[in-house]
Amino acid sequence: MSHRSSSKSVFARLLVLPLASALLVTAFLPLAAASATTGSSGYFSALAASASTELQTARYGAVAAPLPDGDLLIAGGNNETGSLQSAELYDPATGTFSALPASGSTELQTARTGAVAAPLPDGDVLIAGGYNGTYLQSAELYNPATGTFSVLPASGSTELQTARAGAVAAPLPDGDVLIAGGEDNGTYLQSAELYDPATGTFSALPASDSTELQTARSGAVAAPLPDGGVLIAGGLNDVAYLQSAELYEPGATASIAGGALGAQIVGDSSPVAVLVVTNLGAQALDIAGAALSGAQASDFTVTSDACSGRSLAFEQTCTISVQLVPAAPGAASATLSLTDNEVTPATVSLTGDGIATPTGAQGPAGVAGAQGPAGGQGPAGAQGPAGPRGVAGSVEVVSCKPVKVIVRVHAKRVTESRLRCSARLVPGPVRFTTSHLARLEAGRSLLLVVHLLSPRRMWLRPVLAGRLVRGSYVLVVTTTHDGRRVERHERVVIG
């Protein structure tokens, strides 16, 4: 949420007659445009003076304020019974008035005449001051969603800083409400104050020079202007009934929208967030620069700044772009501050969250790729001298064929397939080809050569071996399939 503060706000004297005339014409042009019979002239027409088309209670010195749904709140005032607490609504769609229940929280909590009222940004209505035998400092809020009134605490900054009746009030572009002038115990007032709906507090403007009304006045009128200022005109004081008018010009007020950058993986850059700076004051906002501060300021970066060096008129905007690169998991925050001509330069909070790099589930193991082609054979080395001739060796040749054998398993006769092999010793060197291995893998009757590795366990290899003895053996056959080594066990009987 942005923080905003105003530079010095001023009142200025204004000649009233030309502007008053223009204001009257502007106020009634929409009605004239809606009528097909009255040409371009504005006109007045009376509502029927009976039943629901007139006020439900006669009242003088009441307050009125527009509501979000288009209705108009009318409350308080005075008649022959004294100061009033009652309130009613005017519905422009039907042209009718309806009274709010005259008890409990559905009427003013304090009867008041000559109070002020102003709509607030959240739709509520502020009602403050007035007179009911005593000049009032108290204030209350009307909530149109519930149709109820509630009192602000009657002490300190939550009530008017000066009791006043017959004052003026006007909403300002930044959401505050200006309250000025009026009368307090026979003294006509020049003082003014602001109500801040964000904090629910009143603060007095300095009571001197251009930060107070240039003429004390009670019973004046006030209205906001298109340039962000407020016109205050007429009234009376202890000297005369007044024709004079003056303008209130709120100081430069920066409002900064944005600042939430969301969650981002640690070490990665977030999407760029664009902060929009708007001047809500009638005076120019001069921006010299912008800077980051705070414990995690290094996690944030200003990627572009289109505001520094700018002077913004009322409601003009500029942008500052920021990015988050979190250094660690957890919340990250920083403050972006403007250097400008406000009394207290505006700031905005930047927030985000660093999240650890997510770890996904491990995928299945991949299949080994096919073996690449063999490299070329290198040149043969020089042949060494021949050694002495050794003793002739011998090779154990095993011949096997599949047979059916009947065995007893759990008292039942079961037929099993087995290999029945015989072995013979062949003297001298023997040449073997790969066809022997192929015949073994095909499962047919075969001729193979085995090398005794350990009792009752053999390994298929074309090498010299010692003589095998009769018995049952396990033949271990190793092959390669799709690049993987596959081992198969066969039961072999020799003898």
Task: Give the dihedral of Cα atoms 358, 299, 319, 4; nearest 10 deg.
Answer: 120
Region of 186 on the Ramachandran plot (φ > 0 left; ψ -120 to 50 alpha; else beta): left
d(CA 34, CA 37): 9
Tally Cβ neighbours within 10 Å of residue 233.
21
Identify whether the C-beta of residue 90 lies closer than 8 Å to the C-beta of residue 55: no
pLDDT at residue number 436: 41
User: Cα separation of 103 and 239, whole Å?
Assistant: 41
Closest CA to 5 of 350, 349, 351, 340: 340
Distance CA 126, CA 177 (A): 9
| Long-range CB contacts (within 8 A, 24+) of 390-393 | 392/427, 392/428, 392/429, 393/427, 393/428, 393/429, 393/464
Q: Which residues of the chain have pLDDT under 50?
A: 1-2, 15-38, 390-395, 428-447, 449-467
Domains of the chain, first to last: 10-249 (2.120.10.80), 254-355 (2.60.40.10), 394-494 (no CATH)
Q: Dihedral through CA 464, CA 439, CA 419, CA 482, nearest 10?
A: 100
